[in-house]
């Protein structure tokens, strides 16, 4: 596990390599790294450098800022750029650096790390800390160098040293060759097939689902607690209303309706809280990875829902098995399956609502603040507390937006329709009194799923809006991308028209 603010996770070197791998996923043609080896031990730093060379060997350009690399790391580099006061002092192949510095009067000792030599003798004068400077006298060329800090008469300030190094670079043959290549570049027109493309959405979904599944399985405590929710809530409801079928008719009606209501409400609330917490926690990570073009929004959203789906089905199944039979509902296998399917449907609907709240509210504290405003109207007009058939007219419409109301109606129809106590049609009479609506069990379940689908779609739209807002406007961003692509595929800059190399025909 990589780790987060609460868990340490992998080591620093592993985090460096993981960060590099994340950038490599996008198949970027140019990889910029700022001090990828800083803070690592010698072995980890060398390992990271070897990984960077492996990436470079695949045809990509790797540009990294390195501070005090070891001699082994230095030998891995292909090209070296040395800056002083923000200006170029050397830019070219690593193999040519030693000879160039020797021509300037900075010969590198045989057993000296070239990187240390650049820092200690070229960019900065560390002669004041050395008692013997004769080690370089035998390697000096017979021709007097432009300037040599090893000479007793050579005293340069930092500004003078920087100016001399910069001037010598501009007068060098290496700089002239580099300027020639810049002034006359190879401008072979770019073809559309050369532009970088991301993996297809189904490939992204596959790997994202694997990652989400690993993350979920690593946190076994959360999985155990969510499974325990179904068991504990089932036991509480089942034992509270234990053997209700043996009690008086009026008590049966009250207990059965209370148990069915809390079954629908409990599954909804548990699902909302569990899902909203996960989405709120991962939202920042998703936006950062999405902006880096690691994957697309449809792939992430689908993968996240696919991983959440099993637990959202298993929990209500466990709850139904634990509470249905002790409670005393009708001993009918078909009615049990209908009860279980209704619990699954309302749980999935709560999952969609939880995703929507997490995306819109962004933080868990905001979700907790918004939850009562959302849940109380849905529960109040579910059909138990208020007789929706005789409620306030201008508020009565709220009942048709409540998935708890449809789930409650489905389970009430399932339990009470045709239910007889002591030869009296208690069930049908009680349903008529409750006035839960004209819909059948199947239609009510379909409405629960339909509302869940609406919440799910709104969650996707809200997440899409968040990504568009974070990227400075989706339409503008897409327009900029198209404009940039057209510019790349168009004619080269007219200033270099004479340097264009046309593709050779077969």
Evaluate if pTM is beyond 0.85.
no
pLDDT tens per residue, range 54-94 = 888 877 889 999 878 888 998 999 999 998 888 899 998 98
Interatomic CA distance for residues 136 and 131, integer angstroms: 13
Flag whether pLDDT at 327 surpasses 60: yes
Short-list 467, 491, 151, CA closest to 293: 467
pLDDT of res. 60: 80
Residue 346 has pLDDT above 60, yes or no: yes
Task: State the pLDDT at residue 310.
Answer: 93
Lowest mean pLDDT among 28-37, 154-163, 313-322: 154-163
Q: Residue 293 has what pLDDT?
A: 76
| Band of pLDDT at residue 4, cut at 50, 70 and 90 | low
What percentage of the chain has pLDDT greater than the value 90?
A: 30
Q: pLDDT (tens digit, 9 = 90+) per residue, 114-171?
A: 888 888 888 887 654 444 444 444 443 334 455 554 443 355 567 788 888 888 898 8
**What confidence tens digit (pLDDT) does each residue in 202-244 have?**
888 998 999 889 888 888 888 999 999 999 999 999 999 998 8
Is the per-residue pLDDT at 318 higher than 90? yes
* Confidence class for position 356, pLDDT limits 50, 70, 90: very high
Partners of 84 in beta bridges: 87
Of 182-186, 248-252, 385-389, 456-460, the poorest mean pLDDT is in 182-186
Say if CB 261 and CB 408 are below 8 A apart: yes
SS3 labels along 210-243: HHHHHHHHHCHHHHHHHHHHHHHHHHHHHHHCCC
Q: What is the pLDDT of residues 115-128, one digit of tens each?
A: 888 888 888 876 54
CA–CA distances in Å: residue 65 to residues 12, 34, 44, 76, 121: 18, 5, 16, 14, 20
Predicted local distance difference test score (pLDDT) of residue 132: 43
Residue 198 has pLDDT above 80, yes or no: no
Average pLDDT, the chain: 82
E strands, 128-266, in order: none
Q: What is the pLDDT of residue 59?
A: 77
Under 8 Å CB-to-CB from 345, ≥6 apart: which residues?
A: 407, 445, 448, 449, 452
Minimum mean pLDDT among 198-202, 274-278, 326-330, 336-340: which range? 198-202
What is the spatial distance between Cα 471 and Cα 314, in angstroms, rounded to a whole number?
A: 38
Q: Give the pLDDT of residue 497.
A: 54
- 51/340: higher pLDDT: 340
Q: What is the pLDDT of residues 276-312, one digit of tens each?
A: 887 777 888 888 888 777 888 899 999 999 999 999 9
Most confident of 15-24, 120-129, 130-139, 457-466: 457-466
């Amino acid at each position: 596990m990589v780790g987060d603010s609460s868990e340490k996770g992998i080591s620093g070197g592993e985090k460096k390599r993981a960060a590099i791998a994340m950038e490599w996923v996008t198949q970027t043609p140019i990889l910029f790294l700022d001090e990828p080896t800083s803070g690592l031990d010698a072995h980890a730093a060398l390992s990271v450098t070897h990984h960077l060379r492996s990436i470079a060997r695949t045809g990509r350009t790797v540009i990294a800022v390195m501070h005090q690399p070891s001699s082994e790391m230095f030998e891995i580099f292909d090209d070296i750029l040395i800056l002083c006061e923000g200006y170029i002092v050397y830019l070219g192949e690593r193999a040519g650096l030693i000879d160039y510095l020797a021509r300037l009067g900075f010969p590198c000792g045989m057993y000296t790390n070239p990187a240390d030599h650049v820092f200690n003798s070229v960019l900065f004068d560390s002669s004041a800390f050395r008692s013997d400077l004769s080690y370089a006298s035998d390697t000096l060329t017979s021709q007097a160098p432009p300037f040599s800090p090893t000479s007793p008469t050579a005293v340069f300030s930092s500004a003078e040293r920087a100016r001399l190094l910069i001037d010598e670079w501009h007068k060098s043959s290496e700089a002239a060759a580099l300027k020639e290549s810049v002034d006359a570049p190879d401008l072979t027109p770019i073809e559309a097939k050369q532009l970088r493309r991301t993996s297809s959405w189904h490939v992204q979904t596959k790997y994202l689902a694997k990652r989400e599944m690993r993350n979920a399985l690593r946190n076994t405590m959360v999985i155990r607690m969510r499974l325990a929710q179904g068991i504990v809530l089932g036991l509480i409801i089942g034992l509270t209303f234990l053997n209700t079928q043996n009690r008086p008719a009026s008590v049966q009606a009250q207990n059965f309706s209370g148990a069915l209501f809390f079954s629908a409400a409990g599954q909804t609330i548990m699902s909302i809280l569990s899902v909203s917490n996960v989405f709120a926690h991962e939202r920042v990570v998703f936006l950062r990875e999405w902006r880096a073009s690691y994957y697309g929004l449809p792939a992430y959203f689908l993968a996240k829902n696919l991983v959440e789906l099993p637990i959202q089905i298993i929990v209500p199944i466990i709850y139904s098995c634990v509470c249905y039979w002790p409670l005393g509902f009708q001993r009918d296998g078909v009615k049990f399956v209908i009860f279980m399917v209704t619990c699954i449907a309302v749980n999935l609907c709560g999952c969609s609502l939880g995703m929507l709240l997490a995306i819109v509210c962004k933080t868990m504290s905001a979700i907790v603040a918004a939850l009562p405003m959302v849940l109380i109207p849905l529960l109040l007009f579910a059909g138990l507390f208020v007789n929706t058939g005789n409620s306030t007219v201008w508020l009565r419409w709220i009942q048709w937006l409540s998935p708890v109301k449809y789930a409650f109606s489905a389970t009430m129809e399932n339990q009470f329709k045709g239910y007889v106590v002591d030869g009296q049609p208690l069930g049908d009479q009680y349903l008529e009194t409750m006035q839960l609506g004209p819909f059948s069990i199947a239609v009510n379940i379909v409405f629960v799923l339909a509302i869940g689908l609406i919440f799910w779609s709104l969650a996707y739209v809200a997440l899409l809006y968040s990504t568009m807002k974070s990227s400075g406007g989706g339409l503008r961003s897409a327009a900029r991308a198209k404009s940039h692509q057209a510019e790349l595929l168009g004619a080269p800059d007219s200033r270099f028209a004479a340097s264009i190399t046309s593709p050779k025909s077969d």
